[in-house]
Each structure stands twice: as C-alpha cells, then as structure tokens.
Amino acid sequence: MDFLNALVALANFVLIPGITYGSQLALGALGVTLIYGILRFSNFAHGDTMAFGTMVTILVTWGFQAMGISAGPLPTALLALPFGILATMALVLLTDKAVYGFYRHQKAKPVVLVMVSLGVMFMMNGLVRFIIGPGDQRFADGERFIMKARAFKQMTGLREGLAIKTSQGITVITAIIVVAALFWFLNKTRTGKSMRAYSDNEDLALLSGINPDRVVMYTWLIVAALATIAGTLYGLDKSFKPFTYFQLLLPIFAAAIVGGLGNPLGAIAGGFVIALSEVTVTYAWKKVLNYTMPDGLEPSGLAQLMSTDYKFAVSFTILVIVLLFKPTGIFKGKAV
C-alpha cells in the first residue's frame, strides 16, 4: 500500500507535471531546431514569438468569452488558437521579409543572424507588452480538472490523491497530435521531404530544383504554429506573462541542443530530459520517501535537492554536461 501511495505521489508531483512541461518544451524546441536546421541560426526571438502567438490567442479568447462562445468543458483558448496561429504566421512571414531575408540573401554569418534575432526579440517583446501589458494573464476556463485528487482517493482508497488538470491532459494530447502531424509532414510529404533535404545539404537541394524561398516560407509557417501552440499550452497550464516567455528561451535552447540542434526527434527527447530533470531536482521528495523508506529512516527535511528557483540551473547544468561530452547532442545534430 505504501508503495502504491509513493507511486501515486510520484506520478502526481513529478511525472504528470514533468511530462506536461516536457511536452511544452518539446514543442518550443521543435521550433528552434527547425529554424536552426533550415535557416541555420539560433533564433533568440523564439520565446517572444511564443508570447506573441499566445497573446493573440488570449485576446481572441476574451473576445469569444465576451460573445458567450465557449468550448464546453474545454478551454475557450482552443477555439481561439487557430487565430493566434494565423496572426503569428503573418508576423513571422513579415519579419522574414523585412529582416531575415536580407541577411539570408547576403549569406551573412550565423552570428549576425543571431544578433538580428535579438533585435526582432526586442521589438516583439515591446509589441506584446504594449498590447497586453507586462503583467500576469490567466485565460484558462472550462473544467479545471480531468481527475480530482479527492475523487481519485475515493476511487482507489489510497491516501495519496492523483489530480490531472485539464490543461495537462490537453497539453499532452495536443503535443502528441502536433508531433505526429509534423513527423508525417516531414517524412511523407513532398514539401516536408524537400525541407529535410534543404536542411541536410543546401547546395544539392538547390541542384535538385528545390525552391529555397518556399522551404523557408513553410518553415516559418510551421514554426509559427508550433510556437503559438507551445505558448498557449504553457499559458493554459501556468499563466501568461511576457517576461516568463522570454525566460523560457533557456530551457528551450537547452532542450534543442541536448537533443541535437537541427534534429526534430532530438528536440522532443531534449524537451523531456530537461523538463523531467528540472522537476525531479526541484521536487521535495519527503512525501515519496516517507512511504518508501523503512520506519525511522524517513527524511527530516523536505528532501529537496535544489530550490525551485534554481530550475534554470538544472537546464543549464544538463546543457553544459552534454556540450562537454557530446557537443552535437544526444541525437546527432548539425555542428556547423
């Protein structure tokens, strides 16, 4: 019984939040890794792209709520999501045309493009703060829980409850659908394959008659969709605050690099590695240990390895370790 309780506590406080966060990071890291693979630079504006998409989704959600449109037990934001994606697509295509395209045709060094993406980051950040303000926004509505802790206890008779928030369920399901769709697109469609070919060997792709402008355009469209979805899911699960999204850049980059920059499969693996380690290291293990340790050996303290404030340190440490021992990431990425 104690063992089951420990397992449930573990699932409730570590696995479920970790998997949820991991899905969000994976979606974010996929965007970063696609840009890196195809446009060949680290996009520092990605966090703010996510913020922009989420912001539009939130605004449309509010509009829907005001009009009385809702998705029943699901958050209204899911209905608003397509609008957020469309707006973000428009924004990134505009940015590419006005900013990145120039440097691409010049064949500028990657670090110049990174610098340019800083400028874009500034502008997007300013834009988002200007429109929605720097504060916290909550926009989740509908049913809050798929499974409540108390209901679980009653159902199983265990002392520990297992709660699954709607946002967690939606995150994981959406992530699975999105990732499946993305891999289907990349591996089965002509356009998807041409994107992979372009990422693999740009010159040969050109020789094969692949149109680079089309590839770049599709990449941005996909990245916009991924960023908006990742941002909205994160916002539903936690809350929306422009600065938090900027800060997500670090775990997202860590995930993409740990997995191997330019490798979509790696981005997903990296997202879960980073998220689960973050949650594991910052979780207070007291409860789980109380159940599993023999009497008298229970920890007196919280048994927390690191305070939650150091979650960035966790992503960073993993990043550094991977860079030291396997600079191209777990799955082989590009090392340009």
Partner 1 sequence: MSEPFLIGDAMTGGYGKGPDILHDCTIAVNPGEIAVIVGPNGAGKSTAMKATFGMLNVRSGAVRLGGEDITNLTPQQRVVKGMGFVPQTSNIFTSMTVEENLEMGAFIRTDDYSDTMEQIYGLFPILKDKRNQPAGELSGGQRQQVAVGRALMTQPKVLLLDEPTAGVSPIVMDELFDRIIEVSRTGLPILMVEQNAKQALEIADKGYVLVQGRNAHTGTGKELLADEEVRKSFLGG
Partner 2 sequence: MTETVKTGLLFAAAALLIVLDGTVSFGIFSGSWNSSLTILNMGLISAIMALGVNLQWGFAGLFNVGIMGFTALGGLAVVLTAMPVTEGAWSAGGFRIVGGLIFGAATIVAAVLAYTKLSAGRARSFTVLAILVVGFFVYRGIFDPGVAAVEEINPALQGNIGGLGLPVLLAWPVGGLIAAGAAWLIGKTALGLRSDYLAIATLGIAEIILAVLKNEDWLSRGVKNVVGLPRPLPYEVDLQKDADFIAGAASWGLDVTTASSLYVKTGYALMFAAVLIVLLVMAQLALKSPWGRMMRAIRDNEVAAEAMGKNVTQRHLQIFILGSAICGIAGAMMTTLDSQLTPGTYNPLRFTFLIWVMVIVGGSGNNFGAVLGGLLVWFFWIKVEPMGQLLMELVTSGMADGSALKAHLLGSAAHMRLFMMGLVLLLMLRFSPRGLIPEK
- Whole-angstrom Cα distance, residue 226 to residue 116? 21
Residue 157 touches partner 1, criterion: CB under 8 A = no
From partner 1, partner 2, none, interface partner of 210 (C-beta below 5 to 8 A by class)? partner 1
For partner 1, the closer of residues 154 and 189 by Cβ is: 189
Residue 335 touches partner 1, criterion: CB under 8 A = no
Tokens 């499969």 belong to which residue?
Answer: 265
* Residue 137, phi then psi, degrees to nearest 5: -125, 130
> Judged by CB under 8 A, how many residues of this single chain contact partner 1?
15
Choice from 119, 191, 211, 213 touching partner 2 (CB under 8 A)? 119
Residue 204 touches partner 1, criterion: CB under 8 A = yes
Residue 184 touches partner 2, criterion: CB under 8 A = no
Residue 186 touches partner 1, criterion: CB under 8 A = no
Q: In angstroms, give the least distance from the CB of 130 to partner 2.
A: 4
From partner 2, partner 1, none, interface partner of 197 (C-beta below 5 to 8 A by class)? partner 1
Residue 42 touches partner 2, criterion: CB under 8 A = yes
Written in H, E and C, the secondary structure of the chain is CHHHHHHHHHHHHHHHHHHHHHHHHHHHHHHHHHHHHHHCCCCCCHHHHHHHHHHHHHHHHHHHHHHCCCECCECCHHHHHHHHHHHHHHHHHHHHHHHHHHHHHHCCCHHHHHHHHHHHHHHHHHHHHHHHCCCCECCCCCCCEEECHHHHHHHHCCCCCCCEEHHHHHHHHHHHHHHHHHHHHHHHCHHHHHHHHHHHCHHHHHHCCCCHHHHHHHHHHHHHHHHHHHHHHHHHHCCECHHHHHHCHHHHHHHHHHHCCCCHHHHHHHHHHHHHHHHHHHCECHHHHHHHCCCCCCCCCCCECCCHHHHHHHHHHHHHHHHHHCCCCCCCCCCC
Tokens 């979780």 belong to which residue?
Answer: 283
For partner 1, the closer of residues 207 and 297 by Cβ is: 207
Choice from 94, 111, 151, 177 touching partner 2 (CB under 8 A)? 111
Residue 297 touches partner 2, criterion: CB under 8 A = no
For partner 1, the closer of residues 202 and 247 by Cβ is: 202
Residue 197 touches partner 1, criterion: CB under 8 A = yes
Residue 99 touches partner 2, criterion: CB under 8 A = yes
**Given the rule CB under 8 A, which of 51-59, 127-135, 166-174, 289-297 is the region that contacts partner 2?**
127-135
For partner 2, the closer of residues 193 and 241 by Cβ is: 241
- Whole-angstrom Cα distance, residue 266 to residue 329? 8
For partner 1, the closer of residues 204 and 305 by Cβ is: 204
Residue 94 touches partner 2, criterion: CB under 8 A = no
Q: In angstroms, give the least distance from the CB of 204 to partner 1.
A: 6
Closest CA to 334 of 231, 244, 263: 263
Residues near partner 1 (CB under 8 A) are 190, 193-194, 196-197, 200-201, 203-210
Residues near partner 2 (CB under 8 A) are 41-42, 44, 99, 102, 110-112, 114-116, 118-127, 129-131, 133-134, 243, 246-247, 249-250, 253-254, 257, 301, 305, 307, 309-310, 312-313, 315-316, 319-320, 323-324, 327, 335-336
